[in-house]
Chains A and B, each alone.
Chain A
Amino acid sequence: MAFTAVIRRDLLLAIRHPAQAIDPLIFFLLVIALFPLGASPRRELLELVAPGVFWIAALLSTLLSLERMFRPDFEDGSLDLMLASPAPLPLIVLAKIIAHWLVTAIPLLLAAPLFSLLLGLPTTALPALLATLVLGTPTLSAIGAIGVALTTGLQRGGVLLSLLVLPLYVPVLVFATGAISAAANDLPFTGQIYILGALAALSCTLGAFVAAAALKIATS
């Protein structure tokens, strides 16, 4: 019951404050819109780097939204309520991860086909792009939860959070961009997708436990 209540409450808060979901998306849009201006608008070059640019923008925009996962609750005491709840803490953390994913990844998924046009990604790569987003973003939320749980009690945890979390995002980045590039060249990409799926399964199951332990340490 606590599990669904946490998801429902976080979604309700996101609806009351849509900026939570829209800000990372606008940041994402800016990064990929600036890239052709800064590098080169030539189609051949863009096609080559589009998967990398797309996913780096996704990582950075996720990082932007991570702080909100526990910090507001920590500051207003809601986190104490959750820690004091008889429900197992990993379950509550898992609910927070799911809510974060729903709020940040779903808008990105919906906007991805449109944004991929900005980078001139061939339409043949679109299924691969969506598949990597569906399987990759849960890993981003779950690993992010660990980092943000560790830095919750700190006054300024922003830079530390990126140092902790970004290196752990590397496998997702590598296999996701690999899959999209392969699809763009009409090569099979199921291998990379399987690995992304395995990463998601691992991080979502173990991540909640690790983040729960980190949260206990950070708040005591």
Chain B
Amino acid sequence: MEEFILRVENVSYAYEEGAGMAVQDMNLAFRPGEMTAVLGHNGSGKSTLAKLLNGLYTPTVGKVTVCGMDTALDEHTWQIRQSAGLVFQNPDNQLVASIVRDDVAFGLENIGVPSAEMPGRIEDALRDVGMLDFIDRAPHMLSGGQKQRIAIAGILAMRPRALILDEATAMLDPKGRREVFSVVERLNREQGITVVWITHFMEEAARCRRVIVMDQGKCVMDGTPAEVFTQAERLRAMRLDVPPMVALGDLLRARGLRIPREAMDIESMAREVLACR
């Protein structure tokens, strides 16, 4: 197995010639099985990064490779998009068919999977996102979180190595957000799918193993959540907040309580606070 699934080397990208760089001189690599959050304010270049990672955009300067394949070469395009699936923000605008079953089949049809093999793969994918019961429903009757899970199933059926989610929870209600995040987390844990989770929700980022912060097209921080979120001042300078539990941890530590920096979600914080008594 190769060392990196997705690799970004000295990449810059401009939407138009002469326009400003949306992504500037970026170097990143994602290992197989990693779950990484990408944080950044609007216009920080995180959506551009997502589209660079599966070859929808090809870098103006530099090189992006997916499973060792260069996205700039036309002969790899479909193999790359199959290996690195991309889920978008708006659940309504990425479902193609008027029946869930047909929508999940869409990607399979495009890559030429034999018809006999499709039903099994569709059912597996829907089961993985917990939507098997909805196989004959119409997407417009489903909730946002359910639609987003269908979109994930549509990618999953193509058996990708990596899943890139470009603010997939931004338009969902809290319940839908939790549903989608836990589905992706489970896929990462159980199937070892590499996940790049682009978001501006700090709570979600805190639950990933690695956090990358982007600002003005550059990668400015890269580390574990503990490493990144302890630099609260730097985050605020980029108009980003620290997750509430991290902020709470800081306050408690300032009062002399011994709370480890790793306590970043409600459960572990509760555990640590109880342990302090």
Please say whether chains A and B are actual partners in one complex: no
